[in-house]
């Protein structure tokens, strides 16, 4: 066998093994079975201006340029005058509706034909974590030039050293053109590699090593775009041979993922005691789902399905979904921070997620720096290389903040610049045209980190954008640690008031608040019948605080039987607020015992009230730890313990035994 045949056989074997190792789950699809565009999946982009490529069309919405029917989506390019352009077409995308990090992205499309016709199925980053195009990347699943009907292209765009770079390849049909029939275009996209396929034939691939970029910017959320351009730098304009209208017909768009690639969608930043927030994973045929949420929060609906509603307490933590399919079982986690700060990702620890970096004029490079941040590991760096006509032509922005009329707010943030004395305004503006200005203030930078503050009370209730306008000065700016809160703390809110046995004859009560005003002290009250309460102790309050405040109290003289507890919060003005009533059963505390003692292989715990059980040796090392249910008799395997003295530690006390 020749060397070439050996290499071909090895390549085919590798591809077969790689394909078999994949286990794809269909997590999203649009089969275009209706009679109109599904706006839960797609939104239009409207306008002209060349779109960065000197294109000639005006992108419109409506059935003149996009229709759905007969099981397909049709994007139609027409030769007609509209808003100063001589051609019209359509461009749609899934941004802010659906996006993904990694997976198999697939579309079945029949393409148009003609000089100057330029359809594409492609993906852009949703959050521009590494800055505006091309710094955060672009994945072109399919591009096609209408004057070359038998050739389709796959390309990836990125930057090296701040300059645009791209790597692509093409696949030529052995016969016929892409305009004759539907063909399937797909990419398999994973951490460190992207592969392009046409009709399941691999024709192009890139890796992190082959591109020579670090970090691999394609580990962030991307969204779909479907469009058909007319003219532009690559195909050139239409000519006398071009026939209009031309149609790009899409049979379906699908996304498959491996279980390890699936993400939970839902807010990652929650106000304390939020009434209900939705969290979901894709609906996978035949899958089972099991959810858990942080302590102090609860699932109000949806357990066992792909979507749950969570009633939040005040504890940050992981929302976890365990998914089981024919591919196996995977545990997906989504960390949620419970905070009174309205800004999401306020210190850029998640790069530019939840931040936007629009440049409507001028030029700037947006990046994350790990060198001497003010707080945490990251800070934002903005290098303005060309000023704009207006300060707002270059912005660092966070959107969808709700202002309430008559409520006082405090904004604070840290900033510095490499040249002192650079000025910039911050502004809160309406989140859509006509962009009403609700509050603003100008600031001047220093060479070192400086905290800036701004307080205001809006006169209207509205959804707003927060903008830092950087279009007026050349230079390098740094930003970190943003905070935007209600000036006055909310009245005291009790969180997670608990009571449990602690030690042989004690009860531990714990609670916390996430904000207090005018709070003087807490009275701890006890009762044996749940009605007649008396004060058994007091704990001083924080007075006024927007921070999480934790409290505890130990009842050292509980009675055998059921003890009832209630918390009373007393303000400086005498106002009182009472908590729920908790009950603690103490009847079996003194009866808990272990036997046999000395023990050989099995240790029995009698009359256990439930909770954490630990076995600890004389040096303090924990040899066993588990959270066990209450039971009259629990048996533990201690056969592996070395001879010696040990301690059984529970909420009911500490018992000594010998092996």
475, 458 contact by CB (below 8 A): no
Band of the pLDDT at 12, cuts 50, 70, 90? very low
pLDDT at 59 over 80: yes
Distance of CA 120 to the CA centre of its chain: 28
Q: Is 391 helix (H, G, I), strand (E, B) or coil?
A: helix
227, 107 contact by CB (below 8 A): no
- pLDDT tens, 478-505? 999 998 987 744 345 566 678 887 765 7
- pLDDT tens, 109-140? 999 999 999 999 999 999 887 877 898 999 99
506, 556 contact by CB (below 8 A): yes
Averaged pLDDT for residues 461-481: 95
Ramachandran angles phi, psi of 576, nearest 5°: -120, 140
| Token pair 């994949």 in the structure block, residue | 22
CB atoms within 10 A of CB 143: 21
Ramachandran angles phi, psi of 500, nearest 5°: -155, 155
Q: Output 656 or 142, whichever has higher pLDDT.
A: 142
262, 153 contact by CB (below 8 A): no
Averaged pLDDT for residues 597-620: 83
Q: In the prediction, which pLDDT does 91 show?
A: 97
pLDDT at 422 over 50: yes
Distances (CA, A) of 640 to 308, 583, 634, 644, 657: 43, 38, 18, 12, 15
DSSP state of 147: T
CA proximity to 141, closest of 176, 113, 115, 108: 108
pLDDT at 616 over 80: yes
| Token pair 């004690």 in the structure block, residue | 506
Q: In the prediction, which pLDDT does 469 show?
A: 96
Q: In the prediction, which pLDDT does 514 show?
A: 67
239, 115 contact by CB (below 8 A): yes
527, 564 contact by CB (below 8 A): yes
The residues that bridge with 253 in the sheet, in sequence order, are 30, 107
Q: In the prediction, which pLDDT does 651 show?
A: 63
Q: In the prediction, which pLDDT does 337 show?
A: 84
Band of the pLDDT at 2, cuts 50, 70, 90? very low
Percentage above 70 pLDDT, the chain: 92
What are the residues whose beta carbons fall under 8 Å from the beta carbon of 409, sequence distance 6 or more? 403, 455, 456, 457, 458, 484, 485, 486, 487
Distance of CA 142 to the CA centre of its chain: 28
Q: In the prediction, which pLDDT does 652 show?
A: 66
- pLDDT tens, 159-170? 987 789 999 999
Q: In the prediction, which pLDDT does 591 show?
A: 64
DSSP state of 259: G
pLDDT at 18 over 50: no
From CA 511, how far away is CA 506, in angstroms rounded? 17
Domains of the chain: 23-259 (2.60.120.200), 262-338 (2.60.40.10), 363-486 (2.60.120.260), 494-585 (2.60.40.10), 593-658 (2.60.40.10)
- The C-alpha angle with vertex 338 and arms to 333 and 295, in degrees rounded to 5, equals 65
Q: Which has the minimum average pLDDT: 170-179, 211-220, 245-254, 265-274? A: 265-274
225, 93 contact by CB (below 8 A): yes
Percentage above 90 pLDDT, the chain: 58
DSSP state of 100: B
Residues with a catalytic annotation lie at 138, 143
What are the residues whose beta carbons fall under 8 Å from the beta carbon of 434, sequence distance 6 or more? none
Q: Which two tokens stand for residue 471?
A: 């279009």
Question: Which run of H or of E encompasses 185?
Answer: strand 183-190
Averaged pLDDT for residues 338-360: 86
Q: In the prediction, which pLDDT does 10 show?
A: 37
Average pLDDT of every residue of the chain: 88
pLDDT at 16 over 60: no
Q: In the prediction, which pLDDT does 15 show?
A: 39
Question: Which run of H or of E encompasses 251?
Answer: strand 246-257
Question: Which run of H or of E encompasses 656?
Answer: strand 653-658
Q: In the prediction, which pLDDT does 428 show?
A: 96
pLDDT at 17 over 50: no
Q: In the prediction, which pLDDT does 195 show?
A: 98
Q: Which two tokens stand for residue 492?
A: 């005291």
Averaged pLDDT for residues 283-303: 93
471, 391 contact by CB (below 8 A): yes
Averaged pLDDT for residues 31-47: 95
Q: In the prediction, which pLDDT does 20 show?
A: 38
């Amino acid at each position: 066998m020749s060397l070439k045949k050996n290499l071909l056989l090895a390549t085919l074997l590798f591809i077969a093994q790689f394909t078999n190792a994949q286990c794809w789950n269909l997590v999203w699809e649009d089969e275009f079975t209706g009679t109109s565009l599904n706006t839960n999946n797609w939104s239009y982009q409207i306008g002209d201006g060349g779109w960065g490529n000197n294109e000639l069309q005006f992108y419109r919405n409506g059935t003149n340029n996009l229709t759905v029917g007969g099981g397909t989506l049709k994007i139609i390019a027409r030769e007609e005058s509209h808003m100063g352009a001589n051609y019209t077409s359509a461009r749609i995308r899934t941004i802010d509706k659906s996006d993904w990090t990694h997976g198999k992205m697939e579309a079945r499309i029949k393409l148009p034909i003609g000089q100057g016709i330029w359809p594409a199925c492609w993906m852009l980053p949703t959050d521009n974590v590494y800055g505006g195009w091309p710094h955060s990347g672009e994945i072109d699943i399919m591009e096609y030039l209408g004057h070359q009907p038998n050739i389709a292209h796959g390309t990836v765009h990125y930057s090296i050293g701040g300059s645009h770079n791209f790597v692509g390849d093409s696949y030529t049909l052995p016969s016929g053109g892409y305009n004759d029939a539907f063909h399937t275009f797909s990419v398999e996209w994973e951490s460190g590699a992207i592969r392009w396929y046409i009709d399941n034939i691999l024709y192009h691939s890139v890796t992190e090593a082959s591109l020579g970029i670090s970090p691999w910017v394609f580990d962030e959320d991307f969204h779909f775009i479907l469009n058909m351009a007319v003219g532009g730098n690559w195909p050139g304009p239409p000519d006398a041979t071009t026939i209009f209208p031309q149609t790009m017909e899409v049979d379906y768009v699908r996304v498959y993922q491996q279980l390890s690639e699936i993400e939970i969608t839902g807010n990652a930043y929650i106000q304390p005691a939020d009434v209900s927030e939705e969290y979901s994973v894709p609906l996978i045929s035949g899958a089972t789902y099991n959810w858990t949420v942080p302590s102090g929060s609860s699932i109000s609906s949806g357990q066992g399905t792909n979507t749950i509603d969570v009633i939040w307490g005040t504890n940050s933590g992981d929302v976890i979904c365990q998914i089981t399919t024919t591919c196996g079982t995977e545990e997906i986690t989504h960390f949620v921070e419970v905070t009174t700060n309205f800004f999401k990702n306020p210190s850029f620890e998640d790069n530019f997620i939840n931040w936007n970096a629009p440049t409507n004029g001028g030029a700037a490079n947006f990046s994350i720096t790990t060198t001497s941040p003010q707080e945490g590991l990251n800070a934002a760096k903005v290098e303005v290389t060309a000023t704009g006509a207006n300060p707002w032509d270059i912005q660092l922005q966070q959107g969808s903040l709700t202002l309430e009329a008559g409520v006082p707010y405090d904004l604070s943030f840290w900033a510095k610049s490499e040249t002192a004395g650079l000025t910039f305004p911050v502004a809160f503006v309406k989140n859509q045209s006509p962009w009403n200005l609700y509050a603003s203030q100008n600031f001047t930078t220093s060479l070192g980190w400086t905290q800036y503050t701004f307080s205001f009370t809006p006169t209207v209730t509205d959804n707003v954008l927060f903008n830092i306008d950087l279009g007026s000065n050349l230079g390098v700016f740094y930003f970190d640690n943003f905070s935007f809160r209600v000036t006055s703390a909310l009245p005291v809110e009790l969180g997670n008031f608990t009571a449990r046995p602690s030690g042989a004859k004690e009860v531990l009560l714990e609670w916390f608040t996430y904000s207090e005003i005018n709070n003087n002290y807490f009275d701890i009250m006890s009762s044996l019948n749940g009605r007649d309460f008396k004060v058994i102790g007091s704990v001083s309050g924080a007075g006024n605080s927007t921070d999480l405040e934790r409290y505890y109290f130990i009842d050292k003289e509980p009675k055998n039987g059921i003890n009832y507890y209630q918390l009373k919060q007393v303000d400086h003005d005498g106002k009182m607020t009472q908590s729920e009533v908790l009950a603690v059963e103490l009847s079996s505390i003194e009866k808990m015992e272990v036997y046999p003692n000395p023990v050989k292989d099995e240790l029995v715990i009698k009359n256990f009230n439930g909770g954490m059980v630990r076995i600890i040796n004389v040096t303090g090392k924990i040899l066993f730890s588990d959270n066990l249910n209450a039971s009259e008799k629990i048996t533990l395997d201690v056969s592996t313990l070395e001879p010696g003295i040990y301690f059984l530690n529970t909420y009911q006390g500490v018992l000594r035994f010998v092996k």
